[in-house]
Structure 1
Amino acid sequence: MAFYDSPQLTDLYQLTMVQSYLDHGMEDTAVFEFFVRSLPPKRNFLLAAGLEQLLDFLAHARFDNTELKYLADSGYFKENLIEYLGNFRFTGQVDAMPEGSVFFANEPIVRVTAPLPQAQLIETRLINLLQLPTLVASKAARCRLAADDQQLVDFGLRRAHGADAGMLAARASYVAGFDGTSNVLAGQQYSIPIYGTMAHSYIQAHDSELEAYRHFADSHPGNLVLLVDTYDTFRGTERAIELAEELKAKGTTVKALRLDSGDVGDEAVMVRELLDRAGHQEIGIFASSNIDEYLIKQFHYERAPINGYGIGTHLITSEDAPYLNCAYKLQEYAGIARRKRSFGKATWPGSKQVYRQLGEDGKLSYDVLSLAGETVESGQPLLQTVMQNGKRLAEPEPLETIRQRVKQQLPTLTTDLAHLSQQASFELKISPALQQLTRETDERFNF
């Protein structure tokens, strides 16, 4: 079992709390909800992702004998906890927004209903599995909004914070609208198109650029994207054009020239002029130098002749917003609503639902946060039951289904919400019944 599959990938305090719950017979049903308290600066919306990995984890989470022995020998725990963990199986219910759903602050995107020890034990990994994919998917969606229909490829694996992050990010960026990834294992695992040709080291290993290009064309005639800025972009482009002329007679076409350094906007203008002058309008230009949605928008404004982008570090780390102010909080236990009242971290009590209201123009108008069983006059309920009694209710959604959901949802953003830099607000209405429950909960727990 890989370390990231283990339920022991958790914080110690989850286990110390479960020990106390078991000791004092606190095993009634609890409701926890995962949500984001506030959006990062310059983020006007988020895109839900990571649900598939969470459901897979919950369905298969088991403690093995080696892990149980470690815990038994640690000195922290009693025999009853070790026995409980040895028999651990998640038996609860999960309700969630489908992956690819647009959501906003204080809206639960996952709700877990399970015996208190179970719901508590999964907290750390649940947050871990949802935060990064949501971050990357949201960043990727912004890139897609900036790029229109230009090609976007995830180039982030080498800068990812570990293998798990690289895989989750490749999947998240693809469902958010990217065209593919450089990550070969992600290509195999998730059936994502893979892209890539050569690095500067490949050019340097040859005695001349033209020799490097010829060797690559010989080995990969159907995948010819030539890196032209290892030494001098002007000369590299001229040599690529020379190769393109040679290959014409063989029926082989150079797909694109890649720029990976310098001011790629200005470089792209020069390269385009050289290509067009030589009669090679069919050869595109692909850029991959510290690209993000802001640069894409700038290039679009400047009409830079770039056909596609490889986006790495800024995407994989969500560089301008590298974390979410997210939480997984207890909202109900033993049939009684609960809520946190800490300053700046207060929650709405009870098991909840989110209803979405679109305007006549098809754009997002407002959302309503209500109790799960409450009747709301209009709007579409966003949370759906996806797991009951620890069993998934359906097969994993195909990535193409999630991608189509994103394509349908992004156009519902208003101009303000889709803006990359200016902060915009979105109205979340609180239902009267939820407001009343909040008052009753505060009266009950008036410490």
Structure 2
Amino acid sequence: MSKATSTDLYEVSMARSYLREGMSAPATFSLFVRDLPPNRGFLVCAGLEPVLDFLADYQVDTEDVAVFASVSGQRYEDLEPLLGLRFTGEVRAMPEGTIVLAGEPLLEITAALPEAQLVETYVLNQVSHQTAVASKCARCVLAAAGHMLVDFSLRRTHGVEAGHQAARLGAMVGFAGTSDVAAAYSEGLAAVGTMAHSYVEAFGTDEAAFRAFARSRPGPVTLLVDTYDTLTGVKTAARVLRELGIGPRCAIRLDSGDLGALAGQARAVLDAAGLQETRIVASGGLDEFAVDELVRSGAPIDTFAVGTKIGVSADAPYLDSAYKLVEFDGRPVMKLSSAKVTAPGRKQVFRQPGQADVVALADERPPHGATPLLELVMREGHRTSPRSGTADALERFNAGLAELPPGARSVRAPVAPRAKISARLGLLTTEVRRYIETCLLANEYPAAAGPDTS
């Protein structure tokens, strides 16, 4: 079976019903985050590239239909109308690395209604998870304040694929490397790593382990110094590195205890041994708050290895994201549910330095000096431009970050900017709401009609 089966059952049921009722007119769905999680002043768009790969290859085959039939208790023949369905639509999206705020569409999909419906679950899964993790990584970059960051998250993420994604997402916002070998190879990232406490324990002493490790590697090594006694380990590492003449290219790693105090003591030992260029790496359950505290304290740590809390975005592991129908067959539509009202119509987001973002209708002209953030990235089921790499995303991220107000970039108690709604979008929202409420009172809602929005 293909990835077409990576969907919720109700998507299959709705798509089958649409086909049965002849409802295959173009539909536009908008994906956005209603509210930012706590301690978030912004989000970083991510997950678009895997989504485009998925949509470009999307096709329901015979095995997929058999799976749909099996899990739904229906006959194969009843679901056979789905056979051969491909994604032939259009995607407009913010490229990966773009800064995004609450209420702004990260992407909009326009396709035949059954197509746009069936892909909802996978698209939400990829964009929601990867945007959450990329945003967590971005906060670590802010906290590190120019110090090097590396990804150690693979062993803690919710699956190997999620670990691969975390490595890629870290690189998108400025991480220098990853411990994930597969991700480093396939994404062209720097592979980084040290040794485990078990390695030292296997050799019995720090010195025996350090010398063996150095013999096994042709390049620089990073020695884990806190398996037994940290300061003794640092002194042993300093002696071994001096005797081998490789100190300037190497590092020691602190993985437990009071990292700030230990880093200061380790720095003094290394400097006294003439190893001023030997770096100090810190790890051990670090997140942006711990990194921020260590940096502010002046701890002489050169590299922060973050993993456990970053790869799962521990303090905000999900986003309040939604994928909502905003237009069908040329008719703007909206949801009126309490606290979950959606704005109708295809949209665009305009950004202008020093001004609030404006969420507008897709055909509106941008305000003077403003840049439209949603770009056409897929037409008729095919990409409109080559795949965007992590370097491109990093450039977008850095540019967007520089434009954010200081309060949004704060690691602690950030203040998130709010986007404005354009006058035309506000008017359309009012008109569509009034039209729906009028139809509800009259107990009718003609599917082919709509409010006069001219």
Q: TM class, shorter-chain normalised? A: over 0.9
So what's the TM-score if we normalise by structure 1? 0.95
Residue 148 of structure 1, CA deviation? 2.0
Q: Distance in 1 between matches of 2:74 and 2:422?
A: 43
AA paired with 2:256?
A: S
2:54 pairs with 44, 47, 57, which one?
Answer: 57
Residue 75 of structure 1, CA deviation? 5.0
- Match in the other structure for 1:301: 296
Partner secondary structure for residue 205 of structure 1: helix
After superposition, the C-alpha distances for 1:132-165 in whole angstroms (9 at most, x for unaligned) are: 1111111111111111221101100000001221
1:286 pairs with 276, 281, 284, which one?
Answer: 281
- Match in the other structure for 2:68: 71
Q: Distance in 2 between matches of 1:18 and 1:76?
A: 16
Q: Distance in 2 between matches of 1:320 and 1:74?
A: 35
- Match in the other structure for 2:200: 203
After superposition, the C-alpha distances for 1:179-229 in whole angstroms (9 at most, x for unaligned) are: 111111111111111100211111111022101100111111413100000
- Match in the other structure for 2:268: 273
- Match in the other structure for 1:368: 358
Residue 83 of structure 1, CA deviation? 2.7
Distance 1:413 1:332, change over 3 A: same
Q: Distance in 2 between matches of 1:377 and 1:245?
A: 62
- Match in the other structure for 2:151: 154
5+ residue gaps, structure 1: 360-364
After superposition, the C-alpha distances for 1:240-283 in whole angstroms (9 at most, x for unaligned) are: 011012112xx664511001111111111111111112221111
Question: 367-376 or 385-394, which moves further after superposition?
Answer: 367-376
CA contact (8 A) 2:152 2:306 kept: yes
- Match in the other structure for 1:10: 7
Write the mapping of 1:192-271 to structure 2, written as runs, cut at 5 A. 192-248=189-245, 253=248, 255-271=250-266
Partner secondary structure for residue 445 of structure 1: helix
- Match in the other structure for 1:324: 319
- Match in the other structure for 1:355: 350
So what's the TM-score if we normalise by structure 2? 0.93
2:79 pairs with 74, 79, 82, which one?
Answer: 82
Residue 74 of structure 1, CA deviation? 4.1
CA contact (8 A) 2:98 2:396 kept: yes
Partner secondary structure for residue 367 of structure 2: coil
CA contact (8 A) 1:135 1:324 kept: yes
Distance 1:234 1:73, change over 3 A: closer
Pair 1:187-2:178 in alignment:
no
Residue 307 of structure 1, CA deviation? 0.2
- Match in the other structure for 1:107: 104
After superposition, the C-alpha distances for 1:320-368 in whole angstroms (9 at most, x for unaligned) are: 1111000000001111001111111111110000001212xxxxx2111
Question: 102-111 or 374-383, which moves further after superposition?
Answer: 374-383
Pair 1:27-2:33 in alignment:
no
Q: Distance in 2 between matches of 1:411 and 1:74?
A: 49
Residue 65 of structure 1, CA deviation? 3.4
Partner secondary structure for residue 305 of structure 1: coil
Residue 80 of structure 1, CA deviation? 6.1
AA paired with 1:246?
A: E
Q: Distance in 2 between matches of 1:306 and 1:73?
A: 56
Pair 1:398-2:389 in alignment:
yes
Q: Distance in 1 between matches of 2:99 and 2:81?
A: 38
CA contact (8 A) 2:33 2:319 kept: yes
Partner secondary structure for residue 182 of structure 2: helix
CA contact (8 A) 1:197 1:225 kept: yes
5+ residue gaps, structure 2: 441-454
Q: CA RMSD in A?
A: 1.5
CA contact (8 A) 2:151 2:305 kept: yes
Q: Distance in 2 between matches of 1:78 and 1:31?
A: 30
Residue 13 of structure 1, CA deviation? 0.7
Q: Distance in 2 between matches of 1:424 and 1:32?
A: 29
Pair 1:427-2:418 in alignment:
yes
- Match in the other structure for 1:362: none
Distance 1:10 1:259, change over 3 A: same
Partner secondary structure for residue 95 of structure 1: strand
Q: Distance in 2 between matches of 1:425 and 1:162?
A: 31
- Match in the other structure for 2:119: 122
Q: Distance in 2 between matches of 1:113 and 1:298?
A: 46
Partner secondary structure for residue 35 of structure 1: strand
Q: Distance in 1 between matches of 2:289 and 2:324?
A: 34
CA contact (8 A) 1:264 1:289 kept: no
AA paired with 1:99?
A: E
Residue 399 of structure 1, CA deviation? 1.7
Q: Distance in 1 between matches of 2:101 and 2:78?
A: 38
AA paired with 2:58?
A: A
Question: 376-385 or 69-78, which moves further after superposition?
Answer: 69-78
- Match in the other structure for 2:333: 338
CA contact (8 A) 2:42 2:101 kept: yes
Pair 1:438-2:421 in alignment:
no
- Match in the other structure for 1:310: 305
AA paired with 1:344?
A: A
Question: 63-72 or 107-116, which moves further after superposition?
Answer: 63-72
CA contact (8 A) 2:247 2:278 kept: no
- Match in the other structure for 1:92: 89
After superposition, the C-alpha distances for 1:359-390 in whole angstroms (9 at most, x for unaligned) are: 2xxxxx21111100012332111000000000
Q: Distance in 1 between matches of 2:110 and 2:431?
A: 22
Question: 407-416 or 123-132, which moves further after superposition?
Answer: 407-416
AA paired with 1:414?
A: P
Question: 107-116 or 269-278, which moves further after superposition?
Answer: 269-278
Partner secondary structure for residue 442 of structure 1: helix
